[in-house]
Amino acid sequence: LFPQDMRNFLKVMCQWGHMDNIMDIFDAYDDEVLKSKNILKAELYCVCPPEKAQTDKIKETLKKKYGVSDVLLEVNTDEALMGGYRLEVNGVEYDKSVQGMIKALQNRISGR
């Protein structure tokens, strides 16, 4: 958006009381830009940051699976996982963490 367009947009957002949603709007805009460039956004959660070779392998796997030209991989550390990883792509969660295995076992034991 051009500066004047952005000013008008923000003015309308304020007038209608929607400034609480501004970050969601910007995130949706960023997602659409990535989509138009055939780039997939994924989030990786792990106890320790992986080595470059590991992230490269994850990106290559995702490129093939989703048929995209590139992957924007955000890496987040989460010690609560206890080991393994959790990967979120297009609203789908791939949970290969120790925490996830424990939850799955608890659900099976409790019959959920």
Q: In whole angstroms, how far apart are CA 46 and each of 4, 93, 109, 111? A: 42, 13, 26, 28
What is the CATH T-level fold of the domain 39-112, as seen in this structure? Glutaredoxin (3.40.30)
| pLDDT number for residue 6 | 87
List, by residue range, all CATH 3.40.30 domains of the chain: 39-112
User: What tens digit of pLDDT does each residue of 67-110 get?
Assistant: 999 999 999 999 999 999 999 999 999 999 999 999 999 999 99
pTM: 0.79
Radius of gyration of the chain (CA): 19
Average per-residue pLDDT in the chain?
94
User: What tens digit of pLDDT does each residue of 45-54 get?
Assistant: 999 999 999 9
